[in-house]
Amino acid sequence: MREVASRQELRDVLQSWQQAGQKVALVPTMGNLHAGHLALVTEARELADRVVATIYVNPTQFGVGEDLDNYPRTPESDRTDLRQSGCDLLFAPDEDTVYPRGLDDAFKLAAPPGLTSILEGKSRPGHFDGVVTVVARLFCLVNPDVAIFGEKDYQQLLIIRSMVEDMGFDIHIHGVETVREGSGLALSSRNNYLDSQQHAAAWNLFAVLQETAELGAVAGADFRSLEQQAEERLKAHGLAPEYVAIRRARDLKKPRAGDKALRILAAARCGTTRLIDNLELNRACNHDD
């Protein structure tokens, strides 16, 4: 695995691959890698001739009071894991490389409010503006044929797909199913913040989503009641829910009669650690919910 940090070094490597007619996959990360990230690299190997992983903790997607300064950074183990997973190139830029004009003078994107004013966007104002800003920059620098993202951040996945379509990027966005612990807890870098007692409680987020998805698949289910009941069950397990929502999978709008592909999404705090998760919920809606 090669490692580069500058724009010019990145261009030199990519140019040689492009001249050889090789297809390139991009796996953007913020480091502190776990099995979920490495599953993206493995999937990328199936979809392209060359795999580029990026490690960059992007400041523009962190809000006031969020954990930018304390975000876990594990560069040595990240390099080892990427190398063993078959990554061809690690692009690990510094802030001046990603934002050469500085953060204050940088050109930034604003994601449309229809997808950013709800759920994660409502809980984390400005977060998705930072996401699309940095992802668009990485797309321009790497110019991949395909980019790989995890379904755990489902709203982010939809927003990036919308950005690619709207801005005309010739990039296929490929989603990969959430990787979980044996308990069902979705793998996340923030799981490192959980102590043993909190870790034992955190898996209940997945358990409650599973139960709610099963109940929601029943004809005539009242989605609003199921969301409220799920929040109460999370509280009973010692979690502090921010939202539980059953939405259309394609655009996260509230389901209407005839909608079949749905998603149940949730965010909850376990101690001071914020957890998110989602599950597929497929059914035929016979009423407006």
From residue 6, alpha-carbon distances to 51, 93, 198, 243 in Å are 17, 6, 40, 40
Q: SS3 of 278, please?
A: strand
Quote the CA–CA distance of 197 and 211 in Å, as a whole number: 23
Structure tokens at 68: 């930018």
Structure tokens at 181: 């612990």
What strands lie across the sheet with 89-91, from one edge to the other?
Answer: 2-4, 89-91, 50-55, 24-29, 146-150, 172-176
Q: Which of 275, 150, 277, 157 is nearest to 210 (CA)?
A: 277
Burial class (CB in 10 A: 0-12, 13-18, 19+), 225: exposed
Burial class (CB in 10 A: 0-12, 13-18, 19+), 251: exposed
Residues in contact with 280: Cβ distance below 8 Å, sequence separation at least 6, in sequence order: 213, 249, 261, 262, 263
Q: Indicate which residue of 34, 37, 127, 287 is catalytic.
A: 37
Annotation says 37 is catalytic: yes
H or E element at residue 143: none
H or E element at residue 184: none
The DSSP output letter for 186 is B
Catalytic residues: 37
